[in-house]
Amino acid sequence: MSTIKAPNITSLKSTSLLIGLFIPFSQAYASRVETKSINIDVYVNRDGSLDIVDNRRIFFEKETTEFTYQVPLTPASNISDFILRQDDQLYQEIDGNQENINSYQVLSNKNELAVEYYFWAKDQTKKFTFNYHVNGATSRYQDTALVEWFFLDKNTASITNQININFYLPDLAESEQIQAWIRGAFDYDLNIESGQNIHFYTNQLDPKYHLQAKVTFPSSFILGDIIPQTILSELIEQEENFQTEYTTQRQSQQVQQKKLKSFPDFQSQDSDTGNSAVSSDMMI
């Protein structure tokens, strides 16, 4: 199959770099890139591995020829069998400096799955599907099995309007045998459906925050060695404390932002001193 060289990729990189010298990366992209929706299915396999299908509808206002898919990795995890599609078009993996339209290259390291992909878009929405297999994201303890995974990097360069995530467990369980938590979303719905499907939904995320999910279920659902440790009670307490602290920090941040809007002179004075009215400690 013949491929077409992506137009103006080099000049686009130069323009992006120039913009980045003057305003933060997320602000530079926010006016022209908007993620309309993200729909993710996570299938937990009997061997403890995950199969992930990540569908994203992204609107590009200005001419765009490349974008990056970024997902932080948990410490013991590794990725294989990566596939990228745009609608029915299968993208080809490349290495080096080819950068052809309908292609991608994996730039991952031990801390992050990063995939740079090449296309052409202007004032249009494109649908991309990212498929990959994950090992090492699930642990089997004496009292529970735990799967934890990231879905959005906190440096995501676009506003995200709607996120649906479904976890599918390999077996049925009583609802009280399943626990689930989300980090990085202030308002969300989380439901355990049919004893096997955990559904999460939010309609807006601030791109400054990462998105992470943790799900526990009976350890008998997956195979593998059991870690001689009980964690469930401690984990429940830990996540409840985190959610309380996170909510308090976000509410405090919103109050500070309202003050800045109400008293622009205060905002100006604060900027002159080089201090931020909202503590960076609040950022996750």
| β-pair partners for 55 | 39, 129
CA distance 118 to 5: 10
pLDDT tens digits for the chain (284 residues)? 333 233 333 333 333 332 232 333 333 344 478 999 999 999 999 999 999 999 999 999 999 999 999 999 988 899 999 999 999 999 999 987 777 899 999 988 888 899 999 999 999 999 999 999 999 999 999 999 999 999 988 766 667 888 999 999 999 998 889 999 988 887 789 999 888 999 999 876 755 667 899 999 999 999 999 999 999 999 999 999 988 888 888 788 778 878 787 765 545 454 444 443 333 333 33
Q: How is residue 259 annotated by DSSP?
A: H
Is the four-CA dihedral 95, 97, 101, 107 of positive or negative sign?
A: positive
228, with CB counted inside 10 A (0-12, 13-18, 19+), is exposed
